[in-house]
Amino acid sequence: MIHLNTAPYTPNTLNGGFPKPATQNAGRGHFTAPARKIVDANYVRNISPTFLDYWSQPRLFFNSLVPAEQQMVINAARFELSKVSSQAVQKAAIAQFNKISNDFAKRVAMALGMPAPAPDSGYYHNNKTSGVSTFGNPLPSIKTLHIGILTTTTSSVSLAQAATLATAFKGKGAVPKIVAEYITSGVDMTYSATDAVAFDGVIVVDGTSSLFSMTSASSMYPPQRPASIVRDAFLYGKPIAAIGTGKAAFDVSSIACAQDGVYCIDSGGLGGLPDTFEGGLKTFKFLGRYAVDS
């Protein structure tokens, strides 16, 4: 029978404290060298104090994030710890978070129904560093960014407008993908195989209102897939745009045009949309759409 060591670390509450570190008097694997010396001292089995600070650097990382990114880290900790069945392990994790940030630890503890810990401030500092945050500074270029252009095979005008946009964004170095019900000339992806995570921004062209009707359904893609692509892109903080009747995509998800990163263009042309949308792509994420703990 193979012993399953479910907690190969120490101290732990899940495996009776085993495996225990070897000592000079118990266990195998302990090293001693009583006769060997370094200049004027004996060899000892110990940890250098410089290796005992595990918290200053994570705090530097956390301090360097914008509030929306800090919220993402906290939400990830809440998610992972909520799946842990041992309250002792949850408490131990919160204790480690508390050495990094009391605010972090309190916000995680609150989600798990645990009391807020008192500050453990031995390693707290207010230092920050650059180049850690993904958000906050505009991108220098939109090259290699993916743009989903939502169209429909039922409208030749829609397909032509999508092709014009794709050409404009290719000229800027971006990677436009035209999405429709099925693959045909000028279509790169199908709605059935597409999701908002595939794109850095989404544009809905004119003539597509039928895709977003709550009363219509298609056998070509899951229910409301075109609408979910637009809605999720908005919730993920990405720039989105709609042209003409494509604004039905915004209406079905109650997305207002008059807000940052949401662009509405009337029918009859692109209205300079490629250049305007480029600015939204350089912003990358519109952080006002993210909920942050009060």
**Token digits of residue 136:** 């906050």
In this structure, is residue 130 part of a structural domain? no
In this structure, is residue 12 part of a structural domain? no
Same domain for 69 and 163, yes or no, is no
Same domain for 119 and 150, yes or no, is no
223: left (phi over 0), alpha (psi -120 to 50) or beta: beta
39 vs 161, more confident: 161
- Tell me: pLDDT of 2 over 60: no
Do 146 and 178 touch, CB atoms closer than 8 A? no
49 vs 277, more confident: 277
Same domain for 182 and 102, yes or no, is no
Give the torsion sign (CA, 96, 58, 128, 80): negative
Same domain for 154 and 116, yes or no, is no
Instruction: Give the Cα-Cα-Cα angle 227, 231, 236 (nearest 5 degrees).
Output: 145
**Token digits of residue 155:** 């409208």
In this structure, is residue 99 part of a structural domain? yes
Q: What is the pTM assigned to this prediction?
A: 0.81
Rounded to whole angstroms, how far apart are CA atoms 115 and 97?
14
CA atoms within 13 A on the CB side of 211: 35
- Tell me: pLDDT of 33 over 70: no
Query: In 10 A of CB 31, how many CB atoms?
Result: 9
Query: Which of 123, 138, 169 is at the close of a domain?
Result: 123
Same domain for 100 and 151, yes or no, is no
Crossing angle (nearest 10°) for helices 87-100 and 67-82: 160
Q: Which amino acid is at 233?
A: A
Same domain for 71 and 166, yes or no, is no
**Neighbour order of strands in the sheet with 146-150:** 189-190, 175-180, 146-150, 201-204, 240-243, 262-265
Residue 252's domain is classified under what CATH number?
A: 3.40.50.880
Cα-atom radius of gyration of the chain, to the nearest Å? Answer: 27
In this structure, is residue 24 part of a structural domain? no
- Tell me: pLDDT of 1 over 50: no
Q: Which amino acid is at 175?
A: V
Instruction: Give the Cα-Cα-Cα angle 85, 112, 69 (nearest 5 degrees).
Output: 115
In this structure, is residue 39 part of a structural domain? no
In this structure, is residue 222 part of a structural domain? yes
Same domain for 276 and 154, yes or no, is yes
Range(s) of the domain holding residue 282? 146-287
β-strand partners of 150: 179, 204
Same domain for 168 and 255, yes or no, is yes
Query: Which of 75, 92, 123 is at the close of a domain?
Result: 123
- 3-class DSSP state for residue 126? coil
Same domain for 150 and 268, yes or no, is yes
How does the average pLDDT of the chain come out, rounded?
91
pLDDT tens for residues 206-234?
999 999 988 878 999 999 999 999 999 99
Rounded to whole angstroms, how far apart are CA atoms 8 and 4?
10
Same domain for 118 and 153, yes or no, is no
Q: Which amino acid is at 207?
A: G
β-strand partners of 179: 150, 189
What's residue 229's pLDDT?
98
- Tell me: pLDDT of 241 over 80: yes
Rounded to whole angstroms, how far apart are CA atoms 90 and 294?
23
Same domain for 184 and 255, yes or no, is yes
Same domain for 99 and 151, yes or no, is no
**Token digits of residue 263:** 């662009």
Residue 92's domain is classified under what CATH number?
A: 1.20.1370.20
In this structure, is residue 137 part of a structural domain? no
Question: What would the mean pLDDT of 82-88 be, rounded to a whole number?
Answer: 95
In this structure, is residue 50 part of a structural domain? no
The count of domains in the chain is: 2
pLDDT tens for residues 150-205?
999 999 999 999 999 999 999 999 999 999 999 999 999 999 999 999 999 999 99
